[in-house]
Amino acid sequence: MNNQEIRGYIENAISENHVMLFMKGTPEEPRCGFSARTSAALNALGAQYAALDILPDPRIKQELVAVSGWPTSPQLFIDGKLVGGCDIVMEMYESGELAEALGVEQPDEEEMPTAPAAEAPESAPLGIENRLA
């Protein structure tokens, strides 16, 4: 796969998935604390999302940064629009804006961990085949 094909793949992933997370590792096995917290926030809300591991090839990150204009990972897109990285997603999770953006119900206050632990989701999130590997 050349860089242009990788970029096309990334752009398709963003436009075809309502909720698209680019992360280091996978939701089941995150390879970075920031990615772990971001996917854990989505899991805590029971969101269906697609996730793509950027680590298998350094060109994935290069092209993602070029597409989004955002320098770090993870990156969360909702409806084709960059929402942010770990800090913004966590702020939005705590304020209820993330649930709103995802169109899901915010859990009750007492059930909602303030900083969700990076646990494996009960049901596997919608997977995306990583053809970039």
Enumerate binding residues for another protein (CB under 8 A): 34, 61, 65, 69-72, 82-88, 91-92
26: which residues sit within 8 A by CB, 6+ positions away? Answer: 51, 53
- Minimum distance from CB of 100 to another protein (Å)? 14
Comparing CB distances to another protein, the nearer of 50 and 83 is 83
- Minimum distance from CB of 18 to another protein (Å)? 18
- Minimum distance from CB of 63 to another protein (Å)? 13
Comparing CB distances to another protein, the nearer of 59 and 61 is 61
Which pair of structure tokens corresponds to residue 71? 């320098």
